[in-house]
A and B are shown apart, each in its own frame.
Chain A
Amino acid sequence: MVDNAWLIPLFPLASFFLLLLFGKRFGSRSAEVGSLFTFVSFICAAVVFTKSLHESSYKQTFNWLTVGDAQITVGFELNPLNVLMLVLVSFISFLVHMYSKGYMNGEKRISIFYAYLGLFTFAMLALVMSPNLLQLYIFWELVGLGSFLLIGFYFHKQEAKRAAKKAFIMTRIGDMGLLIGMILLFWQTRSFEYSVIFQAVEAGDISQSLLTFIAIMIFVGAVGKSGQFPLHTWLPDAMEGPTPVSALIHAATMVAAGVYLVAATYPLFQASEVALLVVAVTGGLTALFAASIAVVQTDVKRVLAYSTMSQLGFMFLALGTAGYVAAVFHLVTHAFFKALLFLAAGSVIHAVHTQNIEKMGGLWKKLRWTGPLFLIGTLAISGVPLLSGFFSKEEILLSVWDNGNYFLFTLALLTSLLTAFYMFRLFFSIFGGEEKTPIHAVKESPMIMWLPMIILAVFSIGIGYVQTPWFGTFLGDWLTNENSHHEFSLWLMLIATIVSGIGIGIAYILHRKSSLLTEGESSAYRVVANKYYIDELYERTMIVSTKAVSRSLVYIERYVIDGFLLVVIRITRMFAKKATKLQSGQVQQYGAIAFLSLAVLVVVYLVAGGYLR
Chain B
Amino acid sequence: MTSVPLSAYLVLALILFCIGLYGALTKRNTVIVLISIELMLNAVNINLVAFSKFGMTPAITGQVFSLFTMTIAAAEAAVGLAILMALYRNRKTVHIDEMNTMKH
Contacts and interface: CB of A to CB of B under 8 A. Distances in A.
Interface of A: 580-581, 583-588, 591-592, 595
Nearest to A579: B104
26 contacts: A580-B104, A581-B104, A583-B103, A583-B104, A584-B100, A584-B103, A585-B99, A585-B100, A585-B101, A585-B102, A585-B103, A586-B97, A586-B100, A587-B96, A587-B99, A588-B24, A588-B25, A588-B26, A588-B33, A588-B96, A588-B97, A591-B24, A591-B25, A592-B25, A595-B21, A595-B25
Contacts of B33: 588
Contacts of B25: 588, 591-592, 595
A590 to B, nearest CB: 10
B100 to A, nearest CB: 3
A595 B40 CA distance: 13
Contacts of B100: 584-586
Interface in B18-37: 21, 24-26, 33
B104 to A, nearest CB: 4
Interface of B: 21, 24-26, 33, 96-97, 99-104
B84 to A, nearest CB: 13
A402 to B, nearest CB: 88
A586 B96 CA distance: 8
Contacts of B101: 585
A586 B104 CA distance: 12
A90 B99 CA distance: 80
A588 B23 CA distance: 10
Which of B96, B101, B102, B104 has the most chain A CB atoms closer than 10 A to its own CB?
A: B104
Nearest to B33: A588
A580 B104 CA distance: 6
Contacts of B24: 588, 591
A587 B28 CA distance: 11
Contacts of A595: 21, 25
Contacts of A592: 25
Contacts of B21: 595
B3 to A, nearest CB: 30
Contacts of A585: 99-103
Nearest to B21: A595
A596 to B, nearest CB: 10
A253 to B, nearest CB: 66
Given A588-B25, A591-B25, A595-B25, 19 more contacts: A580-B104, A581-B104, A583-B103, A583-B104, A584-B100, A585-B99, A585-B100, A585-B102, A585-B103, A586-B97, A586-B100, A587-B96, A588-B24, A588-B26, A588-B33, A588-B96, A591-B24, A592-B25, A595-B21
A587 B96 CA distance: 8
A595 B24 CA distance: 11
Q: Which 6 A-B pairs have the closest CB atoms?
A: A585-B100, A585-B103, A580-B104, A583-B104, A592-B25, A588-B25
Nearest to A584: B103
Nearest to A580: B104
Contacts of B103: 583-585
A592 to B, nearest CB: 5
A587 B25 CA distance: 8
Which of A581, A583, A585, A595 has the most chain B CB atoms closer than 10 A to its own CB?
A: A585
Contacts of A587: 96, 99
A380 to B, nearest CB: 83
Nearest to A587: B96
Nearest to A581: B104
Contacts of B104: 580-581, 583
Which of B21, B33, B99, B103 has the most chain A CB atoms closer than 10 A to its own CB?
A: B103
Contacts of A588: 24-26, 33, 96-97
A33 to B, nearest CB: 62
Which of A580, A587, A595 has the most chain B CB atoms closer than 10 A to its own CB?
A: A587
Nearest to B26: A588
A585 B99 CA distance: 8
Contacts of A586: 97, 100
Contacts of A591: 24-25
A583 B33 CA distance: 21
A580 B26 CA distance: 23
A574 to B, nearest CB: 15
A591 B26 CA distance: 10
